[in-house]
Structure 1
Amino acid sequence: METLRHIVLFIHLIGFATLFGAWAVQAFGGKREITRLMHIGISIAAVAGLALAAPWGMPEGAEFNYAKIGTKLVILLVIGAFLGIGQGRQRKSGAVPPVLFWGIGILTLANAGIAVLW
């Protein structure tokens, strides 16, 4: 069961890598726009993160780190909001506000860092 948990953790990190990679391509070589790949990455990270927060495969007597789970969930929701708002603004005016665009990258990096370091 522990192996399955590690596989789901790996998929969770792949989701963040996909989101961050798509963002980095746009930030350093593209038009700084929201892409479909960013939405796919956040979806993978969210589904895998919810699977990791489920109480399966935990050793006897182990407890969840609810502060970490809550922090990561809030950051994930903010990233999702930034993606949605940014895409709406992109459709309307043709450009994503810089604060939203750079916020997506910074929060994605922070969320992946929390997953690995905390």
Structure 2
Amino acid sequence: METLRLVLLFLHILGFAALIGGLLSQVRSDEKKVLPIMRDGVGTAFVTGLGLVGVLEAGDGDVDHVKIGIKFAVGLVLLVLVMANMRKPTIPNGLFWGLLALSVLNVAVAVFVSPTHVTEVPA
């Protein structure tokens, strides 16, 4: 089970790297658009994220449902925005910067939001 979790985590990170890399490659460009690498990256990150939650739920460890819920919501918004704008020749600057901000936010939540632990008061 641990090997599956690590493989899914590796693919999850690669998915976000592809999404953010596709966005960063266009920062200096005048016309921005949704690239196929961004579509593949967000899809990979979303699906592997769901798989990771399944593996974590099946295991014995604690799952931070608030963190998972935030990442799911942000990931779903990213997925919908990328897929809805895939065929458009260009996207507005606001949408572009919003996609970049949401992508970085999702990574930040993964790194900085620690699992909530209930501390027991000693008797």
Structure 1, 108-117 or 35-44: larger mean CA deviation? 108-117
Mind listing any 5+ residue stretches in structure 2 that lack a counterpart?
114-123
| 2:46–2:79 CA contact under 8 A, matched in 1 | no
Q: How many residues align?
A: 111
Correspondence 1:11-30 to 2 at 5 A: 11-29=11-29
Give the structure with the higher percent helix.
1
Q: How has the CA–CA distance of structure 1 residues 3 and 117 changed in structure 2, closer, same or farther, with 3 Å as cutoff?
A: farther
* Pairing 1:8-87 to 2, within 5 Å after superposition: 8-29=8-29, 31-54=31-54, 55-56=57-58, 58-59=59-60, 62-87=61-86
Corresponding residue for residue 101 of structure 2: 106
In the TM superposition, residue 29 of structure 1 has moved relative to its aligned partner by 4.4
**Cα offset, 1:26, TM superposition:** 1.6
TM-score (norm 2): 0.80
Moved over 6 A (4+): none
Query: Structure 1-normalised TM-score?
Result: 0.83
Contact kept, 8 Å, 1:87 with 1:96, in 2: the verdict is no
Partner SS, residue 87 of structure 1: coil
Separation in 2, partners of 1:3, 1:75: 26
Unaligned regions of 5+ residues in structure 1, if any? Answer: none
The 8 Å contact of residues 86 and 101 in structure 1, kept in 2 or not, is answered as no
**CA deviation profile, 1:31-86 (whole Å, cap 9, x unmatched):** 31111111100111011100011023x23xx2211101110111011112222343
C-alpha contact (below 8 Å) 1:76/1:111 kept by paired residues: yes
Distance verdict in 2 for CA 1:6–1:117, change over 3 Å: farther
- Structure with max Cα Rg: 2
Percentage of identical aligned residues: 32
